[in-house]
A and B are shown apart, each in its own frame.
Chain A
């Protein structure tokens, strides 16, 4: 406990320097600005803004990136409430009640409660990250290659179970990601694999390229094909602050949302999305008046918003302690860290404590900023949303392209991104969920490496994965999850959760 406080104090001393506070502020602001744009999720936002951080020192860059992440999350909920188009997948549920509230002229309280809920959830989750960091790191040190491999299998299975749509298709997507990640040089022998003799491919396909293409451009392509009209809440937003009954009604919802979100966020495999769905469903179930949900119930905004923010934050735990990205956004963080010369994993905490704790402390500062800055700025976001889409998408496209180009100064990357954009467009047509593919793509090289090592240490004995206790347990959980998701009864329930 004392350790924890000391560590947080160290973190505060790093994060509260004027430069870092400024960086956090800029990150939060820019993240919200881009996150507000409909159809751009936090993944695309981070990918787009990644080049901004190139010139910064590592700590500052990570603080800024984390700020961008929360900002994007918050911006996404603003869009959901005001436009009825989810800014990103984790705020889909927010549209249900949030937009209804906005239609009833209560956009202000909806936005405010989203911010307050996010702030509370963020505070709790920050403490949780700090508290769980040390023990999990200690556990990570006991992990051998076999355990790492099994843990990644578990993470991928979670991604399958938590993704919406067919389990089988999600599994296939993971394998597709794994196969794509094999492109490039082999780590051990240096042999060129599946490169078609193209020199640019020998380093493998960058994660930013795949993520930006499939999520960023793929999204734009789909948006342009669908000719939907956006109904933006017109009229002035008055009465920003929620009333006392509002606060009372949502206090418990925020608490429950935070617990659900924190728990689901730690699980590898895309926590934030399922967290908001789960929190909403749970809230509806425990409510005495479930019929109010979908017609502007403030709990229906408070719970999922707290949950997705809590999950967004706790999903840093597996990344910072085990070095395994639990969702695509964290995978992008790995990319960003690598650019700054940091290898995420248990060694970060012991070797660079100021980086680890500074980032955690900045999470809290970032959340505070979101509340303080964003509430007065709602008017600006509304005006931004009134800009027609035909002006927005050229802007998005050009920023993304320049961003990708600036990662390696490689025109080839830009072309590849266009191809992956088309791939994302096709995946959507086929009703294949792209998120598991991205996760498979990121974990692919790590999985191969650990699989190879484990097999080598065990002298080719494949039973090593089930004879080592931790590994066996992880694989067992994965198998149970998969079987459960396949069972018809649970499957029906799962679909119910997603359609609700």
Chain B
């Protein structure tokens, strides 16, 4: 295997087993199957519950086929797209299974959702089958890696923040800071290598706004959002930089934020439950600082723009447009 020249390896791999893709499909199918048995719903094997089970089994078979190399996918884009649609339909089916269906000739609340989900699964199946038999367009490289990296990093980030929320004792916090800094540095590497720092940062900044706006008010929330968002600029090269500065800065600054911060309020971070707000704010700031420490960051420029934009928003929305916004944090 290792003797194959690098250029040939990619082309050959397409016709061999796809362990990652296959196992993801198989695991998803197994979970869906398990839920379909666990979930309370209409009894009987041939009821509506039959459909999600049937489609789960199909996906399971496809996944096993891919891992063992029995299944040759000609057009990955169509195949995975179709399978994802089937997956969505299965989820929709499973969460609407306990809703009552037809009563006589009247529709129940569950009829239309299951009808739509069923047709969606059928169409997804056809799309996936097309992907098995018809070659995709030549020369286009299709990869879902970017989407997975962005999704995974977001989950990891919120997981980290949630974890810090658990360290309420003071002596644990510097340690937590260290973990955050190292993880940030490593995470930036991964994101930059996959070329998806932009999408990640944008999504993160939107989530940040959602978390900050209630407890912190418009001014601080906008400012932080813009800072995080600015880190998405594609002409910055995070991984080129001064690793020491990257790691040192958050270590120095994080405890300051955490200890000086006057809020002990909790914020609802969907879906991670309640987390102490100051940890989130500190993590966001640490993130922005990491970005600022990279050598080619336009640190001053970014802060000036963020400040100007924040001012503009603070004037435009509450005063110019007369919308009910709370500008400053609530000190409760």
> Which residues does A use to contact B, with CB under 8 Å?
51-52, 54-55, 166, 168-169, 171-172, 175-176, 178-179, 182, 186, 188-189, 191, 193-194, 196, 217, 220-221, 224-225, 227, 389-391, 393-395, 397-399, 401-402, 405-406, 409, 411-412, 414-415, 417-418, 421-422, 425-426, 429-432, 444, 448, 451-452, 455-456, 459-461
Contact = CB atoms under 8 A, between A and B. Distances in A.
B261 interface: no
A4 B93 CA distance: 51
B81 interface: yes
B147 A194 contact: no
The 4 closest A-B pairs by CB, nearest first: A460-B105, A224-B198, A186-B109, A390-B233
Given A406-B323, A455-B105, 16 more contacts: A54-B323, A55-B323, A172-B85, A176-B120, A178-B116, A217-B202, A224-B198, A224-B232, A225-B146, A225-B196, A225-B199, A394-B309, A398-B313, A418-B210, A429-B142, A430-B84
A310 B82 CA distance: 37
A194 B214 contact: no
Contacts of B54: none
Contact of A169 (B81, B117, B305, B324): B81
Nearest to A195: B95
Interface in B43-98: 77-78, 80-82, 84-85, 88-89, 92, 95-96
B161 interface: no
Q: Which of A406, A415, A452 has the most CB of B within 10 A?
A: A415
Nearest to A417: B206
A224 B205 CA distance: 14
B210 A406 contact: no
Q: Which of B82, B92, B126 has the most CB of A within 10 A?
A: B92
Contacts, number: 197
B203 A175 contact: no
A175 B119 contact: yes
22 contacts: A55-B321, A168-B126, A176-B85, A176-B120, A179-B113, A179-B116, A179-B120, A186-B99, A186-B109, A193-B99, A390-B230, A390-B235, A393-B202, A393-B232, A402-B209, A418-B203, A421-B203, A421-B206, A422-B147, A422-B199, A429-B147, A432-B81
B270 A415 contact: yes
A194 B198 CA distance: 32
Contacts of B324: 409
A487 to B, nearest CB: 17
Contacts of B88: 176, 179
User: Chain B interface residue count: which class?
Assistant: 35 or more
Interface of B: 77-78, 80-82, 84-85, 88-89, 92, 95-96, 99-100, 104-110, 112-113, 116-117, 119-120, 123-124, 126-127, 130, 142, 144, 146-147, 150-151, 195-196, 198-199, 202-203, 205-207, 209-211, 213-214, 218, 222, 225-226, 229-230, 232-235, 268, 270, 305-306, 309, 313, 317, 321-325
Contacts of B313: 398-399, 402
A496 to B, nearest CB: 16
B105 A456 contact: yes
Majority secondary structure of chain A interface residues (helix, strand, loop or mixed): helix
A182 B119 CA distance: 14
